[in-house]
Structures are given as C-alpha cells and as structure tokens.
C-alpha cells in the first residue's frame, strides 16, 4: 500500500535574478515499511525534496499525498498538527531542545499529541531503550555524544507513531562507529515497527543498508532501484 504519493513535484527558487530549479518534476510513491535512501551529489535537490515531502517547504507545483491527505492543501496550523501526527523528523544535527532532557525531548511530542502521562512515560522508556540509550533518559543533549543525540532524535520520531520518518543526512556529523550503530538501530526499528524510513544521504554506508535507492540529479530522478537485504 502506498503511504506517500508524489506527483510532478517542482520547486523553483527565485533568488536575485537567477532561477534555481531545485526540484524539477518528481513523481514517485513510497510504500509502508520502506527503508529508502534518496541519494545524489550535493545541490542535487535532496533536502528540498524531503522538505516538500515532509510538509516543511511549499512546492512551486505538484502534489504530496500522505495517507490520502493532500498535505499542501492544509492550513498552516493544520499542517503543523499533521506533521506532528504523521511524520517523524531526524535532521543532520541539533535536533533536540537543549533545555529538555533526553526523556523530556521524546515525551514532549506525545504531550503535544495529547497522550496520557502513563503512556508517554512508558513509551519514552521503551523507545530510548530500543535505541540503546535507556540509561541517558535524564541527560541533557549537551551531555550526549553526537551519535547519542541522533538516537534520541530517532526515539523521538518513533515515539509519535508516525506514518514515516524523514532523515536528512542523519549520519553526516557522525564518526564511522556511531554511523554504523545508528544505522543498525534504525534498520532494527524499521523491521520491528514496520516504520517507513526515507533518508537523504550521500553516505555509502547508508546506501549499503537501504532496500531502495532513488538517485536524483539536478532535481530529477535518475534511477530508482530496489534491493533485497
């Protein structure tokens, strides 16, 4: 079943006389449980694509349908709530609210969702433990390593029970050991909860784990391949 249906997506930036076609007509679908990498050289349009797909950046034209909802038809307030309930985000770095502990960072989103306290607490613990950092629940982000911070970000994304998780270069700031660990954990989560993961990356180790690789260049899909792993 298709979770995401994208049609003729275009994003044109008009910055001082030059027109940049960051995304230039992408049509693609994503299914439940995918573990997909969107790859391509720097400047090829990966971030722009993910941001439009995630309801963060309004497309110039084209549509993004998530679970049947045309996200870019939503009002900005509704869109924020939609993101909260349907999409998990993991950015390259500084994902967490610095003044909240790891546990609070995970719990907060469920709080926004209006989930009961007991459920929030249990799920926070479960997610942090699943990501191998149950013991750091009370630590503030500044006290965590880059890899641990990314794991908290993944735990936070999973905790809200989203349709899918978008991760834009989640490993770009990590050393190779942390990268391997994080990827292994995300792959486990993908299998355990059947949560869709979509990465933007040019990290070979991410590509090696991905079961689908969409290559884009100059804002267009160059290839779309699936692998059995």
Ligand X SMILES: Nc1ncnc2c1ncn2[C@@H]1O[C@H](COP(=O)(O)OP(=O)(O)O)[C@@H](O)[C@H]1O
> What is the binding site for other proteins (CB under 8 A)?
51, 54, 56-57, 77, 80-81, 83-85, 89, 91, 94-100, 108-109, 111-113, 156, 160
Contact set with Mg ion (CB under 5 A) = 47
**Dihedral over Cα of 205, 206, 212, 214: its sign:** negative
Q: Is 172 in the site for ligand X (CB under 6 A)?
A: no
- Of 42, 75, 76, 204, which lies in the binding site for ligand X, with binding defined by CB under 6 A? 42
Any residues with CB less than 8 A from the CB of 9 and at least 6 apart, and which?
Answer: 23, 25, 26, 27, 49, 52, 53, 59, 61, 62, 63, 64
- Of the listed pieces 42-50, 61-69, 119-127, 157-165, which binds ligand X according to CB under 6 A? 42-50
Q: Is 215 in the site for ligand X (CB under 6 A)?
A: no
User: Which token pair is 197?
Assistant: 């993961």
Q: How far apart, in whole angstroms, are the C-alpha atoms of residue 109 and residue 98?
A: 15
CA-to-CA dists, residue 15 to 19, 20, 37, 58, 186, angstroms = 6, 8, 29, 16, 37
Whether residue 25 contacts residue 220, with contact meaning beta carbons closer than 8 Å, is answered with yes
> Least distance from C-beta 191 to ligand X, angstroms?
27
> Least distance from C-beta 140 to Mg ion, angstroms?
27
Q: Is 47 in the site for ligand X (CB under 6 A)?
A: yes
User: Which token pair is 187?
Assistant: 């792959």
Whether residue 65 contacts residue 3, with contact meaning beta carbons closer than 8 Å, is answered with no
Of the two residues 197 and 199, which places its CB atom closer to ligand X in the complex? Answer: 199
- Of the listed pieces 39-47, 98-106, 122-130, 178-186, which binds ligand X according to CB under 6 A? 39-47
Q: How far apart, in whole angstroms, are the C-alpha atoms of residue 153 and residue 18?
A: 36
Q: How far apart, in whole angstroms, are the C-alpha atoms of residue 164 and residue 117?
A: 24
Which partner, other proteins, ligand X, Mg ion, none, binds residue 20 by CB below 5 to 8 Å per kind?
ligand X
Which partner, ligand X, other proteins, Mg ion, none, binds residue 98 by CB below 5 to 8 Å per kind?
other proteins
Which partner, Mg ion, ligand X, other proteins, none, binds residue 141 by CB below 5 to 8 Å per kind?
none
Which residue is at the shortest CB distance from Mg ion? Answer: 47
Residues making contact with ligand X (CB under 6 A): 13, 15, 20, 22, 40, 42-48
């Amino acid at each position: 079943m298709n979770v995401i249906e994208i049609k003729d997506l275009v994003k044109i930036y008009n910055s001082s006389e030059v027109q940049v076609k960051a995304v230039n007509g992408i049509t693609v679908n994503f299914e439940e449980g995918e573990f997909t990498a969107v790859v391509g050289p720097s400047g090829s349009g990966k971030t722009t694509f993910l941001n439009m797909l995630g309801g963060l950046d309004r497309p110039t034209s084209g549509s993004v349908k998530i679970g049947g909802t045309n996200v870019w038809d939503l009002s900005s307030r509704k869109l924020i709530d939609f993101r909260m309930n349907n999409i998990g985000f993991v950015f390259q770095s500084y994902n967490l609210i610095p003044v909240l502990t790891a546990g609070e960072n995970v719990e907060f989103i469920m709080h926004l969702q209006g989930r009961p306290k007991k459920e929030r607490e249990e799920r926070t613990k479960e997610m942090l433990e699943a990501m191998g950092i149950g013991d750091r629940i009370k630590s503030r982000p500044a006290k965590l390593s880059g890899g641990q911070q990314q794991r908290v970000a993944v735990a936070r994304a999973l905790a809200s029970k989203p349709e899918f998780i978008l991760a834009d270069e989640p490993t770009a700031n990590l050393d190779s050991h942390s990268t391997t660990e994080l990827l292994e954990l995300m792959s486990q989560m993908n299998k355990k909860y059947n949560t869709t993961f979509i990465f933007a990356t040019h990290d070979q180790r991410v590509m090696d784990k991905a079961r689908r690789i969409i290559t884009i260049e100059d804002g267009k899909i160059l290839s779309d391949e699936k692998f059995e792993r």
